[in-house]
Amino acid sequence: MRKHYIVPNPAFSQYVCYPDLFGRYNAFPQHAERREQGQLKHYNLHLIFEGSGYVMNGGGGERLALRAGDGFLFPKHAFQQYGSSPDDPWDVRWIHFETNIPLPMLREADDSGGWLFTFSNRERFEELTEEMYALCSPFETSNEPRLSALLYEILVELVQHSVRLEGSSALEKQNAIRAAADQIRHRCKEPWSLERMAELAGYSSYHFLRLFQQVMGKTPNHYVTECRIDAAKLLLATTALSVTEVAAQCGFAQASYFIRVFRSSEGVSPKMYRTIYGQSAALH
């Protein structure tokens, strides 16, 4: 199977990213490319979902095997050589695109001539690329904003769900931390100690604290407080619960502490937040 879509130049010139062409090759053993430096003027992203193949790391240098769950990103104008295994061909989804977004993986590709990686969350990437295919079957100018948004989402998802090719164990750790963070958010009103949070991810308290800060950009305790404040904001805006009741339902043992933390986070008291964002006519 070969899906190949060429996207017309956008009528709107200020998209932060936009595809030039994209597609999917499945059970296509002839899939192989060699492009000399300067030939391809767009970024070239490949995500491999099945099969095996290779990529040349550098200008015809080291040959590296790529399998399901791996991918590569070449910068603009780079030398490129890669191909699918004739005996076990790739199921690969690829995008050629333009962007000026300062993402780490783009900088790494620019600096090194290519970025090889392992990725997870495959189902999400399948959903996003399938929607891109649908928007070009046939293409309509009104689909431009959504195509740009889908490409942006793919790139940001890739930042969060990929690591350098040799770092698959690091990716597993990231996924464990994010899964634990989701459980904490959904159950934020419960009493969370560092030890209890660490158990969700299967790490010691010391390693969990370090990994959580690396992946989420904040301490676990700070994250719990943020989740509780978010839950409180929803209750203040949509219910007639008193401030004391909101505090209790969101895991704060004392209303006075809740008010102090809320004001520090949002710059207004819970009561004022309700006045601004809530159904003030029906609430007291």
Using one digit for the tens of pLDDT, what is the confidence trace for 60-95? Answer: 467 888 999 999 999 999 999 999 999 999 999 999
Which residue, among 197, 192, 226, 196, has the nearest Cα to 212 in the 3D structure?
197
Is the domain of 133 the same as that of 222? no
Domain boundary among 151, 166, 181: 166
Tokens of 225: 């407080």
Measured distance CA(166)–CA(9) in Å, rounded? 37
Number of domains comprising the chain = 2
Is the domain of 175 the same as that of 221? yes
Is the domain of 224 the same as that of 191? yes
Burial of 169 (0-12, 13-18, 19+ CB in 10 A): exposed
Is the domain of 7 the same as that of 137? yes
What single string gives the DSSP state of each residue in 109-152? HHHHS-EEEEE--HHHHHHHHHHHHHHBTTB-GGGHHHHHHHHH
Q: Residue 198's pLDDT is what?
A: 92
The whole domain housing 14 covers 2-166
Using one digit for the tens of pLDDT, what is the confidence trace for 162-210? Answer: 988 764 566 678 888 999 999 999 999 999 999 999 999 888 888 899 8
Is the domain of 162 the same as that of 249? no
Residue 59 has pLDDT above 90, yes or no: no
Is the domain of 210 the same as that of 156? no
Domain boundary among 112, 146, 166: 166
| 257: number of Cβ within 10 Å | 11
Is the domain of 146 the same as that of 131? yes
Domain boundary among 138, 166, 194: 166
Using one digit for the tens of pLDDT, what is the confidence trace for 226-272? Answer: 999 999 999 999 999 999 999 999 999 999 999 999 999 999 999 99
Q: Residue 281's pLDDT is what?
A: 35
Is the domain of 129 the same as that of 185? no
Question: Who's near 121: CB < 8 A, 6+ residues apart?
Answer: 157, 161
Which residue, among 102, 106, 52, 103, has the nearest Cα to 78 in the 3D structure?
106
Measured distance CA(208)–CA(201) in Å, rounded? 8
- CATH code for the domain of 148: 2.60.120.280
**Cα separation values, 186 from 144, 180, 190, 230, 248, Å:** 35, 10, 10, 11, 16
Q: Which residue has the tokens 């928007």?
A: 135
Is the domain of 268 the same as that of 177? yes
Using one digit for the tens of pLDDT, what is the confidence trace for 3-21? Answer: 999 999 999 999 999 999 9
